Structure formats: C-alpha cells, structure tokens
C-alpha cells in the first residue's frame, strides 16, 4: 500500500501565478483559474512550483499564494504547496507555513545551484521530513537544479513515513523503470515531464504534475485517467492530440510560453517577472497553432 494521502495522483496542474503588467500578483485571475481547473477535472493544484515562478516570489508572496490556493480550493481537490529551497532551513520554514495554512502536501525540489552530493540530498530531505509532519513529494529536475537525485537516494528517502511520492522530471523512461524497481510500493512516482508522462503512468506511475494542464485541463485529466488505468489505446490517442501543445509550451523556458498561451486564451494578463521575459514574437504563431488544433482559442 502506498503511504500518505491516497488522493494524490492523476492530472495535477503546476499552476501559474497570474500577474499584472507591473508584476504584482493578480488574485482575481488566480481564483478564476483554480475554479476553472476544478470544473475541468484537474485532480490537484500545485501552487508555487517552477511554473508558479517560485524563484522570484518573495517569502510573503510565496506564503500568500499558498494560503489563497488553500482558501479558494476549499478542499475540493488536494493542494500541493511548493516549499523547496536550496537552503534546508528555508525549505523547513516554507513547509511549516504550508502545513499551518492547510496544504494537503508539499513539493520539495532538489536544492539548486549549490549541487549537493547524494548524501547531502538525503540529509536535506530527511531534515525537512523530520521537522514537518506533512505528506512530502520530492522533486527531481536536473535540467533546472544542476543535480540529479539517483534512484538509490530516492529508495533511502522512501523509507521515511511522510515522504509519499517523487515528481521525476528527468524525462527518461529508463529512469522511471529504475525508480519503480527501487521504491516498489513505498511511494508513488509522478511524472514531471509532459512529453513522457503518458508512458510513465503506463509503466506504473500514478500521475503527472503538468505544465500542459494549465491550458488543456480536461484533456490532460482524461489522458492521465486512461494511462493510470492501463488503457494504452485511449491514452495514446489522447496524448497524440496533446503532443503539439507539449512541444509548443517549451519553445522557451517554462513558464514563458504557458503564461503567454493563457493570456491568448483570456485567462490571465501579461505579467511575468524578470529575469523571465515575454514569449519571443517569432514563437507566437507556433503556440497559437497548437492552441487552435485543440480548439482552445475563441473562434478556433
């Protein structure tokens, strides 16, 4: 049996943090987005992850986005709060706050920039788990952090009671197989890479923490549901529809394209914080075309 909250799984959106043109958080749009996601079948809201621009939100803003997400969701689906950091004390502080305001679980990215050893990764996550009694989802994304948490390290951490899952964003099915063999039923494996999410779930993963779900929540929910159930034929058909969108949303570093796409769809304004910049003009039409193919633009 998997530890922790059995509700974590399926299509969990790594939700953007909407902003006005001046960079301030647009709370009205944030509430509208969350309500739309729940009505479209999204299985969980992941607030203040990479896609939510966690690296450029101040402590007070970070806390408030999590608080608002919990309040707006109102227990309709799980809220997973991004509370990772490259300093262990900082991650503990953020995680304690998330628990205090009612988050269902926390997402903890590998420490970035300082490139810890595997032992350092183990001690970092062990310290957070011991400090805060809340379900915790580890997050391995080597392309962002500069460090790759190996399956053996995940296996050690999987023995800790409140570490319940891993979001694996290496984009390698071979790695997914190795992780599932290493951890067995101790924790759940979630994809953090939309391009390989379907295959991850078909071989035993339990969900996807998704960028694409920001703009196509119903289709991502349906694809994840089919893949987790082992319905390869239906999952492949749905993922084939999604593939152009998976590709288009990573033409520039996330969340540049997904925020622009949501703006085109009328859900959010133009705000994005430096050092991220608005989507380059020559990518506008490729992203529009991917949206048109799924009839996500008004009049398409």
Residues of the chain predicted below pLDDT 50: 1-2, 6
Q: What share of the chain is helix, strand, coil (3-state, %, to 5)?
A: 50, 15, 40
CA–CA distance, 300 with 298 (Å, rounded to integer): 6
Kindly compute the dihedral angle of the four CA atoms of residues 29, 31, 32, 37, in this order, to the nearest 10 degrees: 120
Does 51 belong to an annotated binding site? yes
pLDDT in tens, 225-252: 999 999 999 999 999 999 999 999 999 9
**Residue-level pLDDT at 7:** 80
DSSP lists the bridge partners of residue 189 as: 166
- 72 a known binding residue? no
Q: Which residues on adjacent β-strands are paired with residue 14?
A: 46
pLDDT per position as a tens digit, 153-162: 999 999 999 9
Domains in the chain (CATH in brackets) are 10-230 (3.20.20.70)
Q: How many other C-beta atoms lie within 10 A of the C-beta of residue 257?
A: 25
List residues with catalytic annotation.
Answer: 139, 167
Note the pTM of the prediction, 2 decimals: 0.96
What was the pLDDT predicted at 23? 94
**Beta-carbon neighbour count of residue 174 at 10 Å?**
8
- At 238 the pLDDT is 98
- What does the pLDDT read at residue 1? 34
Query: Do residues 108 and 134 touch, judged by C-beta distance below 8 A?
Result: no
Q: Write out pLDDT tens, residues 71-108.
A: 999 999 999 999 999 999 999 999 999 999 999 999 99
What number of other Cβ atoms are within 10 A of residue 28's Cβ?
12
What is the model's pLDDT at position 3? 53
Distance CA 249, CA 279 (A): 10
Residue 60 corresponds to which tokens in the numbers above?
């007070």
């Amino acid at each position: 049996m998997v530890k922790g909250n059995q509700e974590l799984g399926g299509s969990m959106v790594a939700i953007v943090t909407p902003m006005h043109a001046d960079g301030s958080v647009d709370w009205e749009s944030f509430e509208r987005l969350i309500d739309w996601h729940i009505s479209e079948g999204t299985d969980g809201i992941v607030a203040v992850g990479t896609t939510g621009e966690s690296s450029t939100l101040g402590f007070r803003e970070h806390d408030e986005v999590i608080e608002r997400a919990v309040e707006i969701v109102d227990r309709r689906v799980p809220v997973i709060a991004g509370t990772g950091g490259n300093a262990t004390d900082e991650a503990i502080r953020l995680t304690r706050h998330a628990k205090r305001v009612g988050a269902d679980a926390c997402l903890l990215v590998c420490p970035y920039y300082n490139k810890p050893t595997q032992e350092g990764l183990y001690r970092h996550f062990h310290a957070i788990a011991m400090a805060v009694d809340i379900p915790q989802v580890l997050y391995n994304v080597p392309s962002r952090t500069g460090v790759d948490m190996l399956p053996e390290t995940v296996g050690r951490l999987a023995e800790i009671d409140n570490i319940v899952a891993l979001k694996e964003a290496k984009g390698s099915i071979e790695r997914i197989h190795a992780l599932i063999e290493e951890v067995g039923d101790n924790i759940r494996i979630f994809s953090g890479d939309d391009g390989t999410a379907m295959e991850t779930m078909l071989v035993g993963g339990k969900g996807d923490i998704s960028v694409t779900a920001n703009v196509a929540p119903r289709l991502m929910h349906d694809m994840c549901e089919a893949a987790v159930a082992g319905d390869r034929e239906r999952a492949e058909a749905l993922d084939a529809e999604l593939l152009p969108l998976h590709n288009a949303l990573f033409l520039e570093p996330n969340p540049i394209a997904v925020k622009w796409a949501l703006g085109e769809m009328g859900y959010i304004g133009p705000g994005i914080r430096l050092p991220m910049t608005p989507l380059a003009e020559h990518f506008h039409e490729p992203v529009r075309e991917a949206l048109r193919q799924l009839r996500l633009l008004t009049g398409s």
